[in-house]
Structures are given as C-alpha cells and as structure tokens.
Amino acid sequence: MRRFAPLLLVPLLTACGAQVESAGAADTVTVARCGEQVEYRVPQRAVAYEGGSADKLFALGLTDHVLGYVMPPANPPVTESPYAAEYAKVEMLSDDLLNRELVVDARADLVVAGWRSGFSDERGITPALLDGLGIQSAMHTESCWNYPGFPERVPPIEGLYEDLRRLGAIFRVPDRASALVADLQARVAAVEAAAPDTETPVFLYDSGTDRPFSAANQVPPNDVMRIAGGRNILADVDGRWTDVGWETVVERRPEVIMIMDYGTQSAEDKIAFLKSLPQLRSVPAVRNDRFFVLDYNEGISGPRVIDGLERFGAYMRAL
C-alpha cells in the first residue's frame, strides 16, 4: 500500500458548501488507484489534466481545493463549458502536456489524470514517480485496463461513477459523490429505457487521412453508442483510442458516423472530408448523410459524457 508524508490540514468548505473534514497528521483514507490501494490525505492544491478531470472535481463541489488545470490547445475553450464559472476561479497552469516540473513548481498535492493521457512513462510523469516526491495522484478508472502492475478493467461509464466515488472518498465528501452518481445513473437509465431495440452500427471518426483514428472498446463513446441503441464497429478491438484501415470501415458498413469535435479542424470539415473519399461512397452513413457531432468533453471520462449520451440517444430515436 502506498503511503504519503503526513500533512496538517484545516477545515474548509467546498464550492457547493459540503464540509471537508479537518485532518490531523494521521488522518488518511485508503482508496483504490486502479488496482492499487493508496492512502490519501485531503488535498488542498489539486491539479487537473484536461476537462474530464477538472469537471469531476467541479461537479463534486471541490473548486476550493483545485489549484489549477492543464489544458492542451486542441481541447475546446473552457469558456464553453457548463463549469465555466468554476474554471474562472482557478489557474490555467499550462496549455501543453502534463509534466513533472509543472506539478512540482505548482506545489501540487494531488494530480488527477488518465494513464497514458496525462501520466506517461515516456514523458517522465507517472503515479509511481509522484509517490516518490510525496505528491498524490488519482487516475481515471477507464484508463486503468493496461496500467502496469495494477490493471483494472471497468466499463467506461461505470468507471466514471467509480471515479466520482473515489474522489468523494479522497476529499471526504462521500455523500455528495453518492448523490451525483445516483443522478447520473438515473439519466443513463432513462436513455437506455427509451433506446430503440437495435444495434445500429456506428463508427467514430476522430481524425486522420491515411488511416482514421477512432474509438475502441475501452473509451466512453463505446458505452455511449451501446446504451443509446447503437454498436461500435470497433467494439471487438481491445484498447482505447486506435487507428484502423479505411477498408475496415467499408467492410463494417456503419449506418451512423460519430464525429469527435475538437482541434483546428471543424466537425463540418471532417464531415466534408469523409464525404469526399471515394471508398466511403457505399457506406450507409455517408450515403444517407447520417453524421452525429460529439463534443470532445462528451467523449472523454467526465460528467459531460452523460450530456453526450442524452443527445445521441435523442438522435438514435429520431432515425
């Protein structure tokens, strides 16, 4: 079990008024970090990587415990977020990738990110490295399926619920987390109950020209498609984000193409590109002009995934 150096804390109120318990030198709580049990102090200077991490903290009313966020430039502006007011209360620490120097310089006491999405062996910032520096870390459960040494395999939307529960435990606001999870579960259940009794094949197009970059079975869009009455044409690919050949898309004949909307290329330009490819002319989704635009933060682990699910559910019911 990982342990961190003790830190003396004082009582604080969260942004929504939930009381975070006072913590003495021995006050820690044991919470899973992927498949590893870790002891946590109550964080006071949390750093979030990308919108999904920050949104989870804001949705739990923990803005007062967030120092800032790291937001690569391809991400949509935080001013467009439903949590825009919370983003405005904390510091934007960088518009680049997460790195060790940034975290150390910020005197962060918790970093929230995904495995290989924020944390990276290649870039020299991992939970194990931060443990050695006395800096706590929490990972998106949906990214844990291939975490070295402590893998954990959980369906992506179930992973979202688990993240909220774990963060609720770390920050000592479990009741707030339980209420939020119950609300999200009810919204998901409503979409599932109203979904058409079909398995309409769906292909997610993220980017790429020679080979399209898409979603495999370990990322939230796979669950979004399934719950709303669709079926990811790459649901048999064990992974997260992956590239495939165009011939695979043609062979699997998606009836809907989901467009991941982010970066410098607009969703409209992505749709125009797909329509321009001669090899896709026979694909039902292209022939019937069935394109659904998913915002970037509706496709990564965070509470906005449920917004995307509700919108996609309505789209599928209208087909």
Q: Are residues 204 and 182 in the same domain?
A: no
Q: Are residues 19 and 53 in the same domain?
A: yes
Instruction: Please state, in angstroms and rounded to a whole number, the distance separating the CA atoms of residues 142 and 279.
Output: 33
Q: What is the CATH number of the domain that holds 267?
A: 3.40.50.1980
Instruction: Please state, in angstroms and rounded to a whole number, the distance separating the CA atoms of residues 221 and 252.
Output: 17
Q: Which residue range is the domain that position 128 belongs to?
A: 12-188
pLDDT digits 0-9 by tens, 169-202: 999 999 999 999 999 999 999 999 999 999 999 9
Quick check: 250 pLDDT over 90?
A: yes
Give domain status of residue 270, yes or no.
Answer: yes
Q: Give the chain's length.
A: 319
Quick check: 39 pLDDT over 90?
A: yes
Give domain status of residue 3, yes or no.
Answer: no
Q: Of 164, 188, 212, which residue constitutes the final position of a domain?
A: 188
Q: Are residues 229 and 176 in the same domain?
A: no
Q: Are residues 139 and 213 in the same domain?
A: no
Tell me 178's DSSP state.
H
Give domain status of residue 4, yes or no.
Answer: no
Confidence of residue 16 (pLDDT cuts 50, 70, 90): very low
Q: Are residues 127 and 271 in the same domain?
A: no
Domain count, the chain: 2
Whole-number pLDDT of residue 180? 98
Q: Are residues 210 and 140 in the same domain?
A: no
Spell 122-146 as b/e; 16+ CB within 10 A means b.
eeebbbeebbeeebbbbbbbbbbbe
pLDDT digits 0-9 by tens, 43-77: 999 999 999 999 999 999 999 999 999 999 888 99
Q: Of 143, 162, 188, which residue constitutes the final position of a domain?
A: 188
Q: Are residues 62 and 165 in the same domain?
A: yes
Q: Are residues 238 and 272 in the same domain?
A: yes
Q: Of 130, 153, 188, which residue constitutes the final position of a domain?
A: 188
Give domain status of residue 5, yes or no.
Answer: no
Which tokens in the block code for residue 211?
Answer: 């080979």
Q: Are residues 24 and 116 in the same domain?
A: yes
